[in-house]
Amino acid sequence: MTAPRAQKAKPTLLEPLATSDPLAPLPSGVPPTELGLEREGSEIRLPIALMAPAEDEAESLLRAASVAEQPAWWRNAVERKDVTVAVSIGALSLNSQVVPILEAADAAGAHCLAVIAPIASDEGLATLLINDLQGAFPGGILPLGVHSEEFHMDEVVAWIAAQLGIPAWDGRRQNLHLARIASLQATHEGAALHLEAPPTPSLLARATRWLGRR
């Protein structure tokens, strides 16, 4: 199993801003809290969970990335700071749907990348996981699947993106936006995002990061 590495591309990076009332009913008339969508100040709690490979897939991914051990987050909860977030309205089914996100995050100098989507195919998830295993970003890559009934999926994803101050990505490269948040805590059952934007890294810190990746 192989997956392409991300190439640089010009990103659109927006600071997270609340662009809608988090308590307002969704288009279907359902209150967000009934679907597990909660916001309190700068923290939002969401029905999203880590997407990790099954045991029978894990070994092939490790071999493809030439890595000996599984990342701890494949089986455990995780917390990351200074996280760049992409939110996709559609499933990540093909490499062509995943690579633009990797490229934009790479060009933005992301420390850690979180990708939120309704679901990812084996191919799409493998691309994210192999880039994570190969150290594409210092803080790693966290794929997060949305847990919601199909009827409510689009409005749940749109609500999440709105709280981050970005539109959900429709798959067209020119419409891809990223948000940068202070931290993310995720398990295999749920997640919380902390929206305060972290300070911009200094030029020295960014130079050191790139030298370390050479």
pLDDT digits (tens, 9 = 90+) for 44-85: 999 999 998 888 888 899 998 888 889 999 999 999 999 999
Residue 140, domain member (yes or no): yes
Residue 132 structure tokens:
């994570």
Q: DSSP secondary structure string, 136-202?
A: SSTT-EEEEEE---GGGHHHHHHHHHHHHTSPPB-S-GGG--EEEEEEEEE-SS-EEEE-PPPPPPP
Residue 167, domain member (yes or no): yes
Of residues 17, 188, 44, 179, the one with CA closest to residue 114: 179
Which portions of the chain are predicted below pLDDT 70? 1-20, 197-214
Residue 3, domain member (yes or no): no
Number of structural domains the chain divides into: 1
Residue 57, domain member (yes or no): yes
pLDDT value of position 108: 92
Residue 8, domain member (yes or no): no
**How many CA atoms are closer than 13 Å to the CA of 14, on its beta-carbon side?**
19
User: In this structure, what CATH number is given to the domain that contains residue 145?
Assistant: 3.50.7.10
Residue 208, domain member (yes or no): yes
pLDDT value of position 197: 59
CA pair distance 78, 186, nearest whole angstrom: 5
Residue 5, domain member (yes or no): no
Residue 41, domain member (yes or no): yes
43-46 and 191-194 as β-strands: parallel, antiparallel, unpaired? antiparallel
pLDDT value of position 96: 81
Domain residues for 171? 13-213
pTM: 0.84
